[in-house]
Each structure stands twice: as structure tokens, then as C-alpha cells.
Structure 1
Amino acid sequence: MNTRATIYVFSTAFWPLVGGAEIAAEEVIRRLEDSFDFVVITGRLKKNLKKEEVRGGCTILRIGFGNAFDKILLPVLGPFIVHQTDKKRPAQLFWPVMVSFASGIPYIFNILFKRHIPIVLTLQEGDPESHLRHSRGGLIGLAWRMALRRSSAVTAISSYLARLAKGFGYQKNVQLISNGVDLALFEKKFSTVENDELRTSLEIPEGAKIIVTTSRLVKKNGIDILIRAFLALPQDLKGQAYLLILGDGAEKESLKRLATNKRILFLGSRPYHDLPRYLAIADVFVRPSRSEGMGNSFIEAMAAGVPIIGTPVGGIPEFLVDGETGLLAEPENPNSTAAAIGRILTDTRLRNLLIEAGKKKAQEYNWHDISEKYGAVFLAEMNKKRSVLIATGIFPPAIGGPALYALALADYFKQKGWQVSILTYAHGDPTAGVHRVSLEIPSGVRHSLTFLKAINLVFKADAVLLLDHASLGFPVAIASRILGKRYIVRVGGDFLWEGFVMSRRAELSLPDFYQRAPDLSFKERIIFQAVRYTLQHAATVAFNTEWQKDIFIRAYGLDPTKVTVVQNVCLARQGAAQESEREYSRFLYVGRFLFLKNLKRTIRSFITAQKKMNRPFMFEIIGEGPEEEALKTFVKTLHTDRVVFHASMAQKDMFERLESARAAAVASYSDVAPNIITESLALGTPAILTKYSGLEKARADGVLRVDPLDESSIEAAFLRMMDDGQYADLRKAVAVSSPRSWSDVAKEYAVLL
């Protein structure tokens, strides 16, 4: 199972339509793709862009028809597209980048679908405060206030934006995480030949001074001021200087009309990876911004070894110290900008000092460290105190696999700081957080009472985990559906098949039960429908094995994209038994004494094989259950002392016996993932296993598969195990698997929840 959490990223534009915010999101995604799965929700905006594609470590989903109107469609269609996608790829976190059309989607989604998915909002805006507060009739300011109010956490790329967030009413701490620079890309060195070729292609003569800006052609970036500054340069400088404007935007035509000098070249948008080529031939980078969230382009120029000129607005002063890492010009003052350009182009000593200090400063903006900061924020929000309801048929002090499973998961979640509530049918003393419904209450009434208790518990929970998919799971599933809460189901065994086999004493495997479609009683048909409802409406159904998963997909019509496999624990480790204790003369069965375990046929096959080999092998049967007395009586009729029964024992003692055993034997009519077999193999002990099991083990793994309905098949397996030559080969074949702890299992469920 993929245990990486899924993060949905919301950005109005995304690759290949990139600006500073989009580049930042892509860089973070690229560096965190080993830790998280990313789904990017964005506008299509151009018809040549695919509606869905995978790029690097993320899936990009584009909404709309491929035009500018797609921005308007994002908050309208986006929540419903996320709702459909979330069914297949459940989101653990939402990450809107900037307050924009796309960033409204996660907030609307949580409201519409009654969800509580944490939202980490990143502020990347470069607009002035007046624009954010009053533009578009105050709607932008309203969007800021609403987004900040409903965000779990907020990050900002500059102190300027952090202060703005506080000014818009955000009460919690804003975490400062600046944008970064791909240092390897912008520090790349180009040869003299490459630089000369680019100059020639632009018709720039050798020795000319080059001023460059890489900016969107919008008012806030002050490109009109830069053009006026260029025109205001002294004639001796202007006559040998060129201004390269890389970028596109709404003001392009008006700027061209302003640019009366032929040495001002509009080069349009260039691919991001081509920008270092132009910076390599530049003598100075200039952007006389009217406002700026941070200004990635400045850092890119610094990394490329180009001195920078900016204005003391927004986040720029956080990296541009006048006279140290660059020069500051007065905002809205072309003459001040022209003077700064003149200083850098004529003062070689100053220029070199600015270059070296700028390159050093740029090292602080490496994407590796910045991405790790984002990763820490994401994990912190996902791991915040949450409330989970675990619904389980049995719970300690009752014994059994589901009870142990529920207790182990509850303990793990509590260690994470989560609030855990248990709803169970098991008896026991009153315990904080454990809500019990007595099994002595008549069926129907008991289920109604369970539903009423579940309504209250589900309402308080952020997530619901069902360890029972029938009797208890059904009323909890209904409560979850009514309240709009997602729930996850863990399927271990099969309540319906087990009940059918036990009540009728039918020798029927799990696959045959669903393939033959036997006549079910009225009660069993109700159970089938209840199970189908519970499973079909689950956000995720987790099975122990692929084998059972495939059976249930066909039998209950499950969506294959909403099922997964979470393997069982395996706590056994070699070294449980001393070498002197390893006689390898005992066969072992450990588990419940149930009809479906096929123990009578297994015992009879062992006795027949033992007599044929005429060797003193023993068959030890450890456990308890409703068939215990019948089995003991049956063994007496066989007049043998080769079969002995033991009560359930401590796990440590059981592991010692298992490691010193010749083989474990489970020949049940079906057994999804018997722990005794996985533990046996972990201890280096071969096994006999029913062919109707989800454990994908065979002779090459030290496991002999048998037909549980064919006594000769089981007998043949015992004979092979009793033959020293064949046994030696089987023991060598056992591939000792790594232990799998409760913590390993719980981590996977924590991700699902």
C-alpha cells in the first residue's frame, strides 16, 4: 500500500503557465514527491492543454474549456471535481497557493460536503494593500478575510504579507517561508561563444551594456518606470546600452508605445529554463516595483551573478540591502532608477561587491531547505489533534483478533495525540472513551440503539474506522452517511460466509460461496444487503490480502479505486526458541476451534500420515472455541496419543513452540491471512496451508498448499513434511520475512483516516 499522504494543490494557473507562485509550487512538489502524493487543481486556460496529465510527482487536473473564462469556473466546478477525485484519492491536506479563484475551491468543498480537511494557505501576492482591500468592489478583501478565517495554517513568502494577514484579521502565527531559487539552474556558467551567439541573435554589438528585467508586464512591476528610466539615462550610457524586457502581460502594447528607443527590446515570454541564458549576458537586473510580495526574479538574478536594482516595497527589503546586496531606487521615480543603473554600469568596484554579496545572499533561498519547511508544516497540520471513532464488534477484555486490532490502533492514535472513542458490542467494565452496547439486547433493538449512539459519536469525530462490516458496521455506516462523514472499513474475515458455513456445517470455501450463490435465508439476505451498503459507501475499504479484495470487488460490486490492502501484523522474530529445544517433531495448529477450520479432517490426515511413516510425530492443537469438546471426543475415537490440546498461551510461549515445531498446519475451508502461517514463516518454520487463502505462498517459499476438502491432499502434505529429505528442502526454502509491527499497520490506517 502507498502510505504517502495526498495533498491537493490549488493554483489558478500552473505549468506551463508559470509565474513566481506557480514555479514555487512546482519546485516544492518536485522535492516532496517522495513524501507526499500531489494533485494539482488548476484552470485549463488554453485549449492545447490537457484536462488531465501526470507531470513529475503530481497529477494535474485542469478545469474549464481552455479560455480566460475558466478562472470564473474554478470555484463553481472545482468543489465537485475535487469531491469526485477525493473518492479515489482521499485528501489529507489542501494547499491553496495565493488567494485566487482556485483557492476558493477547498473552502467551498469543506462547507458543501461537511468536511474538515486541514487547509494550509500560502500567501504569494505581490499586489499593493490598497488593491487587496478595495479592488473589485472589495471582493478581494472579503476573499482574504474568509480564507484566513477558515485556514488551519498560513504561510507567507515575506514579512510584508505576514503583516497583511494580521491586518485582515488572522489571529494565529503566520509562518514565514520565502520562495526559493533553483540554484543549479541559475548558477550555470555559459561559454563566451554561447554568450556571443545570443548577443548576435539579438543584434547587440560587442561591448554594449545590457539591462534586463524578467517580469510580467503588469502595472505593479513598474516596467513603465524602467522604460522612462532607460530613456532618462545620460546620452553616453544610453548610446551603448540595451534594455531587454522578458515577459508578457496586459500592459504590453502601452509599454511598446512608450518605448521610443530601438534599443528597448521586447522579447516576450521565454521558457523558465532559458532565463539564465539572458541573465548571463546582463550587466544589471532592474525591476522598479510598485508592490511586491517577495520578488523571485531578483533572487534568480543574484544567483546568476547579476547586480540588482529594486524599490523598498513589499518583501524586497528583506533581501535587498541598499549598497550591500543591490541598490534601491525611489518608487515611482524614473530618475532615481536611472541614477542607480548609471552607478552600477560605471562603478566596477561597486558592481563586483554587489555581485559577490548577492550570490552569497541567494544561497539562503535554496529550494531544498524551503521545501523541507513546507513539508514540516504539512505534517504538523495532518498530525494535529483529531478525533477518531473506532467501531469494533469486540474489544478487550474480550479476546480475539478484532479486539486486539482495535486496541492496538487506539493506542497508536492516542500516542499521536488524537482523541479516540470506541463503540463496541463487547462486555466490560465502564472505561473512559469506550461505549458499549450489550449483546444481550435483542437483535434489531440492539442495532437501533447502536445507531443512536453512533449518531452522537460520529458527529463528534473527524474520522470513522469500522473494524466490523456487518452487525456493528452497518448502523455506524448509516449514521456516518446521514452526517456526511467519511468512514473507512477494515475487512478481516467474512461475517456472512462464516455464519453460513457454521450454521449449516457446510463444507464450502469462500470463493465457492460467492461463485455458487447458494440459497440464503431471509436474515442472510438482509446481512448481504447491509454489508454491500456498508462497503459501497465507504471512502476506502481495506483488506488483508489481494485475494479477498478481488473476491469482494466482484461479489459486492465495489469500486476498485476505493479499495486497498493493509497487510496484517507479524510480530514473530527468530530466536524465540533455544537451539536445544528445536526437535522439529511437533506439528502445530494455533487458533480458534471452529467448524470452518476443518480440524477433524486435518487431524485424521495427520494420524494416517504418522502411521505410514511410523515416526513419533506429535500434533499440538492450541487455542479454544465452540468445537473444543467435540474435537477432544473425536480424537478419543481415534485411539491415539499423538494429538494433544493446549489452552491459549502467552505470545512469547507460542512463538517458542512455533519456532521449534516441524511445521504449522492450517487446512481451513478458507483462511484469508492466518497469522499463525505468517508468524511460522517469520520464525523459519515451514507450513501446510489451505489453497483458499490470500497468503501468496507456495512450495518455493516452504509452504505446501492443500485442498481442504481432499483428505488425501492434506495427508500428502504431512507425509512430505515428515520425510527428512523433502523437509530439509522445505526448511531451506523458507524466506524469513521481516517483522511487521502494530505501529506499521497503524501508520497506514492513520494515512487513510
Structure 2
Amino acid sequence: MAKRVLIYSPAYLPLVGGAELAVKELTDRLPDYNFDLVTAKIKPGLPKEEQIGRVMVYRLGLGWNLDKVWLALTGGRFGCQLHRHNNYHLVWSIMASYSGLAALNFKNRHNEVPLFLTLQEGDDLVVVERKMKLAGRRFRQLFAKADYVQTISHYLAQWARRMGAIAKIEVVPNGVDLRTFDCQQQKLGHPVSKWTPGVQVDIFTASRLVYKNGLDDLIKSLKFLPEDVNLRIAGAGPEETRLKDLVKELALDTRVNFLGSLSSKQVAEELARASVFARPSRSEGLGNSFLEAMAAGVPVVGTLVGGIPDFLAPGESGFAAEPDNPESIADQIKFILDPANQEKVWQVVNHARALVKQQYDWDKIALQIKEIFASLIE
């Protein structure tokens, strides 16, 4: 008989972020378990209950951002009601904030059910801790009561220890669907498109349009690049209006294209035409979009913040710009596009692709999560 797992997540599909996609990718690959997920509604019009893939989703709240607080306050009790009928073998908290507080409330009522805490936080951890001050000691209790802690980067593992985690902490990163994000060639020996003056070149980025992803700096970097270098931005978020105003202010309307939210297949198509992927993050838990670009054989420009150094070694698997420095971003893009540097660039690209295939394949990562589940339930 399949084991039952109760998941708490601050948001879930169709709201898209790295954590939400990770849950979808993993649950699709764990057929020996049945999953129920309790989350905040956040967006009007979403059903209170629906089946998404292998996950039964329950949404709490009225359809606005404060629903996350409602999740923290009532999610534990709601999960206990589900537990009476479903007899869960494991409770799984995705991230430590609002969903974590709900999972803690459940754990306090049902201590016999193992608590598995996954840290996916991408925001500045100082900001996360400031938001959770209202929770008082309960926020740290979440870390202390977890029976197993999985983090997607060494950066977050250090945070878990600092917050008082007692149980085993294991770094298991997010991954890439290599069936979607891959090149046909086993080895790339030449660039997808060499930069010739007068010929349009596309920089591509995919992310939530939020301050921490540094897209304002990426837009500003175009002022230091030739006019035939353009930027295509995939994603949606609260910074969209401000970023579009910045584009107008800098007179870059003809060089910046906002694509909106794209499916994984559409992102893969954009990567196939891109010469560079860039995201100058101010904070990052890991950064799935970087890994997807690396798998697709696109040179990557990032910043060495948060969990990014786990996979981006400057000059080995990618190119590093300084945070909050548009000119530094432009310098890295110029280096990549310079025909004189093509041999070096494609050595980096090949190394990056090999790294992703070896360490960031969702199929392999799902097996690691399955082993953790088994150790907790047995």
C-alpha cells in the first residue's frame, strides 16, 4: 500500500517558482507515495481543492497575499483534520516560513509523524528572519523539531545549523529535466551564434520579476553594450511595472522584450536562440534557471551570492559579475561574445553541461529524496 505524505508549501502551481516546480518534479517521480498538499490560495479564482499531477492540492484563504499568514495560523489544524482520514506517514514542509509554522503546528499535535524540512529559500535570509520575528521562538522550534533537514545548497545548510537544527542536514539540490533542457550535441565545439557587429544578439533571462533577482541591473547593463545586443525577459512578478518604466527611462524600448510567464518548453526554445543567459541575483537559494541554461549549452553570467557558488565556478562552469554592478555584468557579456574568447567560452559551456548531467538530473535527485523518505518512515 502506498504511503501518504502531507506537504505544506507557501504556494503551489499554477503559481510558479523554483520550490513549486521542485515539488512537481519530485512527486511525479515518486509513485510509491500519495501526496496531499496544503498551501495558501494567494490568487483569486483558484479552486479550493484540485488534483495537479500526483498531488491533491488544498488552498486556504481568500485569494490574496495575506493568505500565507492564514496558512501559518490555520494550516496545522486543517492538516490534523486531513490526518484523521488519511493517516499520514510523513509531513513535509517546503521552506521554513509560513508553511513551516503550519507544519510545526501539525507536528506539535502529532509528534509520532516524522517532520521533513526542505529549505528552498531564495530571498535574503536577513529578510526571511525579520519577517518571522512575529513568530517568536516558534520559528527556531521548527528547525529544532525537524527529524531531517534537506537544503538545496550549502549556503542554506549553514543557515539551518545557525537556526538550531539538531537532526541530520543533507544538501540535495534542485534539478533539471534533461529531456526538456538539453542540446543534441554531446560536445559543443563552437558557439551557437558568434557575435558579428551589426547582427542582433539575444541575452535571455528567466525569473520572477522581483528585486532580489537584479533585473534592473541587467537592464542597465545594456547601456554598456553595443546596440545590437538585446535582452529577452521571461517571467512575471511585482517588479514588472517598475522594470518597464526603467526601460522607457533609459530609452531601451527597442532592445528589451518582456515575454511574460513561459512554460518549460517555451523557456527551452528561448535558450536555443540565446547567446548568453544572465541573472545578476542579489540573493539566491540555488537558481534553477541557471542550471537549465547550463544544460542547454548556453554561457551563464551570475553573481556569487547565496547558493550559486555550488555550481558556478568563475571561468570553469560560468562567468561571475559583481552584484549591483551593471558595468560588471556588461564586461562578462562582452567577454563571452568576443570571437577571440570563443575557445575558452565553450570549454566553460561543456564543463557546465557535464556538471548538470552528473549532479542535477531530477531522476537522480528523486532517488535521493526517496531514500530520505524511507529512512524517516521506516
TM-score normalised by the chain length of structure 2: 0.90
Match of 1:131 among 119, 127, 134: 127
Task: Check the 8 A contact 2:97/2:128 in 1, yes or no.
Answer: no
Aligned equivalents of 1:151, 1:227: Cα separation in 2: 41
- The aligned residue for residue 273 of structure 1 is 265
Aligned equivalents of 2:139, 2:282: Cα separation in 1: 21
- The aligned residue for residue 190 of structure 2 is none
Question: 1:19-58 counterparts in 2 under 5 A?
Answer: 19-32=17-30, 34-58=31-55
Match of 1:327 among 319, 327, 343: 319
1:529-580 Cα shifts (integer Å, max 9, x gaps): xxxxxxxxxxxxxxxxxxxxxxxxxxxxxxxxxxxxxxxxxxxxxxxxxxxx
Output the amino acid matched with 1:249: G
- The aligned residue for residue 117 of structure 1 is 113
For residue 376 of structure 1, report the CA deviation from its aligned partner.
0.8
1:207-234 Cα shifts (integer Å, max 9, x gaps): 411001101111211111111212222x
Task: Check the 8 A contact 1:188/1:276 in 2, yes or no.
Answer: no
Percent identity between the two aligned chains: 38
Aligned equivalents of 1:64, 1:27: Cα separation in 2: 26
Aligned equivalents of 1:141, 1:269: Cα separation in 2: 36
Question: 1:76-87 counterparts in 2 under 5 A?
Answer: 76-87=73-84
SS in structure 2 at match of 1:244: strand
Q: Compared with structure 1, are the counterparts of its residues 59 and 342 closer, same or farther at alpha carbon in structure 2 (3 Å cutoff)?
A: same
Question: 1:61-76 counterparts in 2 under 5 A?
Answer: 61-76=58-73
Task: Check the 8 A contact 2:200/2:230 in 1, yes or no.
Answer: yes
Q: Which runs of 5+ in 2 are unaligned?
A: 185-197
1:701-720 Cα shifts (integer Å, max 9, x gaps): xxxxxxxxxxxxxxxxxxxx
Output the amino acid matched with 1:8: L
- The aligned residue for residue 187 of structure 1 is 182
Matched residues, number: 359
Question: 1:529-608 counterparts in 2 under 5 A?
Answer: none
- The aligned residue for residue 89 of structure 2 is 92
Aligned equivalents of 1:138, 1:10: Cα separation in 2: 20
Q: Which runs of 5+ in 1 are unaligned?
A: 190-205, 384-753
Question: 1:611-622 counterparts in 2 under 5 A?
Answer: none
For residue 71 of structure 1, report the CA deviation from its aligned partner.
1.6
SS in structure 2 at match of 1:186: coil
SS in structure 1 at match of 2:99: coil
- The aligned residue for residue 4 of structure 2 is 6
Moved more, 223-232 or 264-273: 264-273
For residue 141 of structure 1, report the CA deviation from its aligned partner.
8.1
- The aligned residue for residue 154 of structure 1 is 149
Question: 1:304-323 counterparts in 2 under 5 A?
Answer: 304-323=296-315
SS in structure 2 at match of 1:265: strand
- The aligned residue for residue 342 of structure 2 is 348
1:309-344 Cα shifts (integer Å, max 9, x gaps): 111111111111111111111122211111001101
For residue 379 of structure 1, report the CA deviation from its aligned partner.
1.1
- The aligned residue for residue 17 of structure 1 is 15
Output the amino acid matched with 1:185: T
Aligned equivalents of 1:271, 1:13: Cα separation in 2: 18
Aligned equivalents of 1:344, 1:140: Cα separation in 2: 46
Match of 1:108 among 105, 117, 139: 105
SS in structure 1 at match of 2:21: helix
Task: Check the 8 A contact 2:97/2:132 in 1, yes or no.
Answer: no
SS in structure 2 at match of 1:245: strand
Output the amino acid matched with 2:236: D
Aligned equivalents of 2:222, 2:151: Cα separation in 1: 33
For residue 247 of structure 1, report the CA deviation from its aligned partner.
1.3
Aligned equivalents of 2:343, 2:42: Cα separation in 1: 47
- The aligned residue for residue 360 of structure 1 is 354
Aligned equivalents of 1:143, 1:254: Cα separation in 2: 36
Aligned equivalents of 2:364, 2:132: Cα separation in 1: 39
SS in structure 2 at match of 1:183: coil
Aligned equivalents of 2:89, 2:351: Cα separation in 1: 41
Question: 1:402-441 counterparts in 2 under 5 A?
Answer: none
Q: Compared with structure 1, are the counterparts of its residues 348 and 143 closer, same or farther at alpha carbon in structure 2 (3 Å cutoff)?
A: farther
Task: Check the 8 A contact 2:117/2:146 in 1, yes or no.
Answer: yes
- The aligned residue for residue 229 of structure 1 is 221
Output the amino acid matched with 2:308: I
Q: Compared with structure 1, are the counterparts of its residues 280 and 370 closer, same or farther at alpha carbon in structure 2 (3 Å cutoff)?
A: same
Match of 1:249 among 232, 237, 250: 237
For residue 92 of structure 1, report the CA deviation from its aligned partner.
0.6
SS in structure 1 at match of 2:315: coil
Aligned equivalents of 2:217, 2:323: Cα separation in 1: 9
Match of 2:375 among 380, 397, 420: 380
Aligned equivalents of 1:287, 1:375: Cα separation in 2: 32
Q: Compared with structure 1, are the counterparts of its residues 241 and 358 closer, same or farther at alpha carbon in structure 2 (3 Å cutoff)?
A: same
For residue 144 of structure 1, report the CA deviation from its aligned partner.
4.2
Task: Check the 8 A contact 1:11/1:100 in 2, yes or no.
Answer: no
Structure with the bigger RCO (C-alpha within 8 Å, sep 6+) is 2
Task: Check the 8 A contact 1:216/1:247 in 2, yes or no.
Answer: yes
Q: Compared with structure 1, are the counterparts of its residues 61 and 273 closer, same or farther at alpha carbon in structure 2 (3 Å cutoff)?
A: farther
For residue 114 of structure 1, report the CA deviation from its aligned partner.
4.7
Task: Check the 8 A contact 1:148/1:169 in 2, yes or no.
Answer: yes
Aligned equivalents of 1:219, 1:29: Cα separation in 2: 30
